[in-house]
Amino acid sequence: MSYQEREITSEKLEKHIQILDSDEGIRIDNKTSHIFINKTATRYCIDISKNGHDEFIYKNSPAEVIDFLADKIDTTAKIFSY
């Protein structure tokens, strides 16, 4: 099995969050932070990594994740699905 990563557009982010499987993830590379989104059996885990500090936030639905991320993604951010 090999690790594959592909860039996705911000317009397709919500769709990728909706279909996220427990062995997949999404990485958002902002200028000053990185955001990682993973899914467990019951909820989504959002890890905001900035200056060597990690903050974990948990949400129950794709809509909650998108609402939370609305003001946390730079317009120049690169988004990857893995």
SS (H, E, C) 28-69: EECCCCEEEEEECCCCEEEEEEECCEEEEEEECCHHHHHHHH
| pLDDT at residue number 4 | 85
Pairing of strands 44-50, 78-81: unpaired
DSSP reduced 3-state for 12: helix
Q: pLDDT for 19-68, tens place per residue?
A: 999 999 999 999 999 999 999 989 999 999 999 999 999 999 999 999 99
On whether residue 41 sits in a domain, the answer given is: yes
Q: Please state whether the predicted TM-score (pTM) of the whole model is above 0.85.
A: yes
**Spatial CB neighbours of 30, under 8 Å, sequence gap ≥ 6:** 72, 73, 74, 77
On whether residue 34 sits in a domain, the answer given is: yes
On whether residue 13 sits in a domain, the answer given is: yes
DSSP 11: G
Q: Count how many domains the chain has.
A: 1
Q: Which domain holds residue 21?
A: 6-81
| pLDDT at residue number 2 | 59
On whether residue 54 sits in a domain, the answer given is: yes
On whether residue 1 sits in a domain, the answer given is: no
